[in-house]
A and B are shown apart, each in its own frame.
Chain A
Amino acid sequence: MKSVLRQLAVGAVTLLLSSSALAQEPNKVNLGVAIPAATHGFTGGIVWWANQAKKELEKNHPGLKITVKTAANAPEQANQLQDLLTVNKINALVIFPFESASLTKPVAQVKGKGVYVTVVDRGLTDTRAQDAYVAGDNTAFGKLPAEYLAKRLNGKGNIVVLRGIPTTLDNERMDAFNAVLKNHPDIKILDAKYGNWNRDDAFKVMQDYLTRFKQIDAVWAADDDMAVGVLKAIEQSQRTDIKEVFGGAGSKGMVRTIIEGSNKLIQADVSYSPKFIYDAIKLTAEARLKGEKLPANTIIPSVLITKENAKDFYFPDSPF
């Protein structure tokens, strides 16, 4: 019993000492990273890039400590925020919120304790809870494929669309896509159904599109995972009317297909790389080490990937 008490006391003293040491050195950054667990390709990439950032940045900056936490759902992530604050004693936070609304309060509390907060991708419902916001460009995610397909089809033809999961993010992309095609009255969007960012669902939806529409010129699969299912369905039907399948997000498989030119239906993609978590961690850590702030909003641009520039978007070690 006594030894337990002694250990506790020693632990408390060490904690006190270490936290006061931290307070004395203003440019020491103890950065927490809270991200969703790897449950599908994209979040798999998020986790991989976050760990990559920890490895590289901690090596380059001796004053930097990074703690990465992955959560399977919103309540778990909220708990982790408390742990990061009380156990890990962070003074900066980079968070990819699991959900916007339910994480706003917990993040605001962390910020209230003096922690510098950078929010990534999924925004919070109240921006006062954050210092900086870093995101991928969802408008470009919908706009670039629409412009590209309009050009490829010479302004005339039939397009079918596969959407993700019903979310505001998906709506933003779809709206941007529609807005461009409004200027091309001879291009018809035959239908847009949900494929849930899932290969199997996309396969089924595409099979049914192929049954229903006799002439399809292009497919906006709106995600590289869904494009995999779409390609299989087209291959099975042996239809030759489809000229182009446009995925999205720049997964390594699709980028490799573009580099190799191994599928004539896949000629281009739009970047929306999970690497933005790496960029967000790097920007935040380096700014804080200098005692600086980030701009309120940083948009990591989405870029059209074609054979010419595909090499710059190919990361063979990433799971995504």
Chain B
Amino acid sequence: MRPEPHPRASLRVRALLQSFGPVLGLILLCIIGTALNSDFAAVDNVMNVLTRTAFIGIIAVGMCFVIILGGIDLSVGSMAALIAGAMILVMNKLGPALGSPVSAIALGIGFAVVLGALFGLGHGLLIAKGGIEPFIVTLGTLGIFRAYLTYFADGGALTLDSDLSDAYSPVYYASILGIPVPVWVFLAVALVGGLVLNRTAFGRYVQAIGSNEQVARYAAVDVGRIKVLTYMLLGICVGIATVLYVPRLGSASPTTGLLWELEAIAAVIVGGTALKGGSGTVTGTVVGAVLLSVISNILNLTSIISVYLNAAVQGFVIIAVAFMQRRRK
């Protein structure tokens, strides 16, 4: 019988270490990045990385809710691609009819977010009311969404008309106070996500259902409604991400958003959310998303590792960060 010295203190240190796992990983990566290439820490590069993280990051915030709820959504990449394609079609149609590109874009943006919410509603109803596993529902829609995009694009690419594209491009390329618009939107979504998760009844219900659905039911939580709303929330996030994505290249093709679902899920898991649900943080998710982008950025800024192994490096870091916080429930 050995007396444990200050069990509480050691627990606290461990908990601290665990919740700072991703942050530590990120700091470590940034040090490595700066050592390898001094331009890594340049403002332009930092802004590039944060801007390109915005899509995955925004989707990951929604995904964080779904995973905490105990669900999953495999369709987000295909959904983003289909929303992008549908949005381009709608704007190209409306542009000449309305006469002003700005109002066509405004309507396109509204359309994208509503379409995302509707897709999420469909998922939620099939899962909560239809009683189908989320994995299966979203595996099905993963194929459906992408197939429809390919069909609309006739296998090629859907491209935004050039005057619309010019008018829309500031949404991706412009900066406010030196920070690109997508980064602002990402921050806003993360902030709202954090508040909703930690400060509202809805957020508490999501966590309760994720840790024990049966108990939540006994506690008179309307489980079905919360589930539907959570998937809708993710759909809206996908819609917002798409609104930022379309002005980047002004086009959508069947390769748009390929594997985004895995990137978003990886960001959530690296950020310390348990895949089996119950607990997790939006902050962790944001850090996780940035961390994944930083890895690929560092690999592009250097050529010390064979290009064949880029994906392997990403895989090693994901596993290493997850290992650092493995005891976290």
Contacts and interface: CB of A to CB of B under 8 A. Distances in A.
Interface in B109-164: 150, 153-157, 159
A197 interface: yes
B34 interface: no
Contact of B249 (A37, A41, A200, A211): A200
A212 B155 contact: no
Interface stretch (B205-213, B284-292, B300-308): B300-308
A197 B254 CA distance: 12
Interface stretch (A44-52, A54-62, A104-112): A44-52
B174 to A, nearest CB: 11
Given A44-B150, A48-B154, A229 B249 contact: yes
B249 A203 contact: yes
B214 interface: no
A39 B150 CA distance: 6
Contacts of B255: 39-40, 197-200, 225
Nearest to A262: B162
A194 B310 contact: yes
A208 B297 contact: yes
Given A194-B307, A194-B310, A319-B155, A212 B254 contact: no
Contacts of A229: 249
A187 interface: no
B323 interface: no
Most B CB within 10 A of own CB, among A39, A41, A45, A211:
A211
A147 B156 CA distance: 29
Interface residues of A, number: 37
Interface stretch (B44-52, B64-72, B99-107, B187-195): B44-52
B300 A204 contact: yes
Given A204-B296, A209-B300, A43 B155 contact: yes
Interface residues of B, number: 31
A301 interface: no
A163 to B, nearest CB: 8
B308 A38 contact: no
Nearest to B42: A211
B19 to A, nearest CB: 30
A211 B44 contact: yes
Nearest to A274: B155
Contact of B156 (A192, A207, A319): A319
Given A44-B150, A212-B39, A212-B300, A253 B248 contact: no
Contacts of A203: 248-249
A40 B300 contact: no
B273 interface: no
B173 A38 contact: no
Contact of B308 (A48, A166, A228): A166
B24 interface: no
A319 B321 CA distance: 43
Interface of B: 37, 39, 42, 44-45, 48, 52, 150, 153-157, 159, 173, 248-249, 251, 253-256, 258, 296-297, 300-301, 303, 307-308, 310
Interface of A: 37-41, 43-45, 47-48, 163, 166, 191-194, 197-200, 203-205, 207-209, 211-212, 225, 228-229, 232, 236, 253, 318-320
18 contacts: A38-B150, A38-B155, A38-B254, A39-B155, A43-B155, A192-B307, A193-B300, A198-B258, A200-B249, A204-B300, A207-B48, A208-B48, A211-B42, A211-B45, A212-B301, A225-B255, A319-B154, A319-B157
